[in-house]
Copies of this chain bind each other. A is one copy, B any other.
Amino acid sequence: MTGLKSKQKKGLSRIQEKNRARIIDAALAEFSRHGYSGTTIDKIAASAGMSKSNLLYYFSSKSAIYEAALAHILDVWLDPLRGLNVDNDPAEELSHYIHQKMKMSAELPAESRLFANEVLQGAPRIRPVLENDLKRLIDEKTKVIQSWIDQGRIKAIDPVHLIFSIWSMTQHYADFEPQIVALTGKSLKDADFRDTAESTVLHLVLSGLGLKRRTGQDA
């Protein structure tokens, strides 16, 4: 973690800890929908069930809340990719990764939107994290994919663009959910829809790599 410190809970009381957590949750929901400028401290406070001034006691400023929310999601956000293991079966590893990403789109859509929002606006606050932590992670994982290619276990493809494709296809279901609902009447909350979505992504990726889909799809 470079730009944003993920946790600095030194000596916080139970109630402080709990209130901070409630604020972060509320902030996540608000920021992810309305962007930074579009959300007010008042709204966050209301959503967290406390007064505006009380909230300002826990966080000194609006941007402090925003950065805390951002830092809070980063770890869980980057986690699935860390699991890609070069020693395992490529089809299994990638199926698992896609499944994890789709699960996050389904269960943590606000996190996805907040991240999208931040990047869409030029990533002013998490640029350092992207350039350092995430860059290192990507360099490591593209090597994993490249070695699968070198070993002849998957067809040749550009590893970075493959990862971008997986990111975009899976996150799309969270970030563009209103459009998806408008067009299909369904979302990832619908189990069948979610299965079809995941199957489609899985199929595109695996067949692009010359792999067959495994029978049990959630590795």
A interface vs B, CB < 8 Å?
33-38, 113, 116-117, 119-123, 127, 130-131, 134-135, 138, 157-158, 160-162, 164-165, 167-169, 171-173, 175-176, 178-180, 182-184, 196-197, 199-201, 203-205, 207-208, 210
Once A38-B35, A203-B208 are accepted as A-B contacts, the answer to whether A164 and B172 lie under 8 Å apart by CB is yes
A172 to B116, CA, bound (A): 10
Give A3 Cβ to nearest chain B Cβ, in Å. 11
Interchain Cβ contacts under 8 Å between A and B, 15 examples: A33-B121, A34-B37, A116-B116, A120-B175, A123-B178, A127-B178, A130-B183, A134-B182, A134-B183, A157-B200, A160-B184, A161-B197, A161-B200, A164-B180, A167-B176
Would you call the interface of chain A mostly helix, strand, loop, or mixed? helix
Q: Is the CB of B182 within 8 A of A135?
A: yes
Q: Is the CB of B120 within 8 A of A182?
A: no
> What residues on B are CB-neighbors of A113 within 8 Å?
120
